[in-house]
Amino acid sequence: MMVLLILLIVLFVEIMIIISWKSKVIAEARKASQDETDLRLTYKRYKELYPDVTISYSEYKQLQARRAYKKAVSSMKIKRMVR
């Protein structure tokens, strides 16, 4: 009887660990997609939304260059950009 109780407790703890791990993975995925969208903002607006972030303007621009959203359409295919 005691062994069964211990096994049930261990099983419950393992299930709780798996649930917390899954929720953490999902939250990180949401944050990554949100960060990609937020990097399209100007530095001033980004600092207004996230005042506790300590990132300089040049670091923000480098981060934008590495991870920011890029259009898949070539500028030559956009009529208003072709002269």
In the chain, % of residues over pLDDT 90: 24
Number of structural domains, the chain?
2
For residue 18, CA distances in Å to 13, 28, 32 come to 9, 15, 21
* Residue 15 belongs to a domain: yes
Q: pLDDT-based confidence at 12, cuts 50/70/90?
A: very high
Name the residue range of residue 49's domain: 39-69
**Whether 1 and 12 share a structural domain:** yes
**Whether 32 and 12 share a structural domain:** yes
- The arithmetic mean of pLDDT across residues 60-74, rounded, is 69
**Whether 63 and 51 share a structural domain:** yes
Higher pLDDT, 43 or 82: 43
* Residue 81 belongs to a domain: no
**Whether 43 and 32 share a structural domain:** no
Give residue-wise pLDDT tens across range 28-46: 766 655 565 677 788 888 8
The pTM for the full model equals 0.42
* Residue 51 belongs to a domain: yes
38, 46 contact by CB (below 8 A): yes
